[in-house]
């Protein structure tokens, strides 16, 4: 979330212990794509053949349309230079975008990136996702806010728990096959969450995607995108040089 790079050893030390009763998946790399190593990835979605990416850092925050196959930035727009960009989600013909500590969000036209309006919310903005009927928003805590997709008014909140224990630092979000996926800030873990009650259904361990050499000058895992039409899952990180298409594998099968 915050722009604090971590050495490899720190990233793999988790602040929580996973319950033996919660399934854990690892991954198989299906394909590797180029990712702009200057992109401080805060939000990532795949729609109709393209990646939409929100990036952070004050003075460098943008919303981008990216060609998956090459990593080429096809369209981009800067947000106000005093703001730190955060999560995005593509909702129909609109792109919703958060800022970190300014309590301001943007609604943009998907085709032109033109700003249509701004909206406000209390607290910090971290991640966004939607299922077409609900918008999900994270704020760095264990809570997920659920908004009306038209008014962006908050309807309810759920608390994300693993075996009853709250899971803090929920960051970038993605809607995947009726589940909510969430990066856990400063870890290489992704939580698979029930949107109905906040229960962690399973964990995804993404450690080892980058080599130790590739990990230099990068920040944390952050960025999940799902191609619903072709059942493809993509992950990347802040200032990572690569974006990965991965297939989930139950961890026990690799032993």
**What DSSP string runs through 61-94?**
-EEEEEETTT--EEEEEEPPTTS-EEEEEEETTE
Within-domain flag for 157: yes
Question: SS3 of 215, please?
Answer: helix
pLDDT category at 5 given cuts 50, 70, 90 is very low
Q: Give the CA distances from residue 225 to residues 70, 78, 175, 254, in Å, rounded to whole numbers and listed in that order.
A: 16, 21, 8, 25
Mean pLDDT, range 83-95, rounded to an integer: 96
Give the chain's domain count. 1
Q: What are phi and psi of 127, to 5 degrees?
A: -120, 160
Report pLDDT digits (tens) over 180-211: 999 999 999 999 999 999 999 999 999 999 99
Give the CATH number, domain containing residue 222. 2.130.10.10
Within-domain flag for 4: no
User: Could you tell me the residue range of the domain that residue 80 belongs to?
Assistant: 22-254
pTM, 2 dp: 0.89
Q: Backbone dihedral region of 113: left (phi > 0), alpha (psi from -120 to 50 degrees) or beta?
A: left
CA distance 20 to 227: 30
Within-domain flag for 161: yes
The reported pLDDT for the residue numbered 101 is: 95
Burial level of 155, CB count in 10 A (0-12/13-18/19+)? exposed
CA distance 187 to 14: 6
Position 34 pLDDT exceeds 50: yes
* Cβ atoms 237, 184 nearer than 8 A: no
Within-domain flag for 247: yes
Question: SS3 of 58, please?
Answer: coil
Q: Give the CA distances from residue 179 to residues 44, 104, 136, 174, in Å, rounded to whole numbers and listed in that order.
A: 16, 27, 11, 8
Within-domain flag for 35: yes
Within-domain flag for 9: no
Within-domain flag for 160: yes
């Amino acid at each position: 979330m915050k722009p604090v790079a971590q050495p490899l050893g720190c990233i793999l030390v988790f602040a929580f212990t996973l319950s033996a009763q919660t399934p854990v998946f690892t991954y198989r790399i299906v394909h590797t794509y180029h990712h702009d190593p200057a992109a401080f990835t805060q939000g990532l979605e795949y729609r109709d053949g393209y990646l939409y990416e929100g990036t952070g850092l004050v003075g460098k925050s943008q919303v981008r349309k990216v060609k998956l196959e090459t990593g080429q930035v096809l369209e981009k727009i800067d947000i106000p230079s005093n703001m730190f960009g955060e999560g995005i989600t593509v909702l129909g013909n609109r792109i919703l975008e958060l800022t970190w500590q300014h309590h301001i969000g943007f609604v943009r036209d998907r085709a032109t990136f033109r700003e249509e309006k701004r909206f406000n919310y209390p607290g910090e903005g971290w991640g966004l996702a939607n299922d077409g009927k609900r918008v999900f928003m994270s704020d760095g805590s264990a809570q997920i806010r659920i908004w009306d997709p038209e008014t962006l008014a908050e309807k309810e909140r759920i608390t994300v728990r693993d075996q009853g224990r709250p899971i803090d630092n929920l960051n970038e979000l993605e809607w995947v096959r009726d589940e909510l996926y969430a990066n856990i800030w400063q870890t290489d873990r992704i939580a698979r969450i029930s949107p109905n009650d906040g229960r962690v259904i399973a964990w995804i361990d993404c450690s080892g995607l980058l080599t130790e050499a590739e990990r230099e000058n990068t920040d944390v895992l952050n960025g999940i995108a799902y191609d619903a039409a072709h059942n493809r899952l993509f992950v990347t990180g802040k200032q990572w040089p690569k974006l990965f298409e991965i297939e989930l594998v139950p961890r026990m099968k690799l032993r």
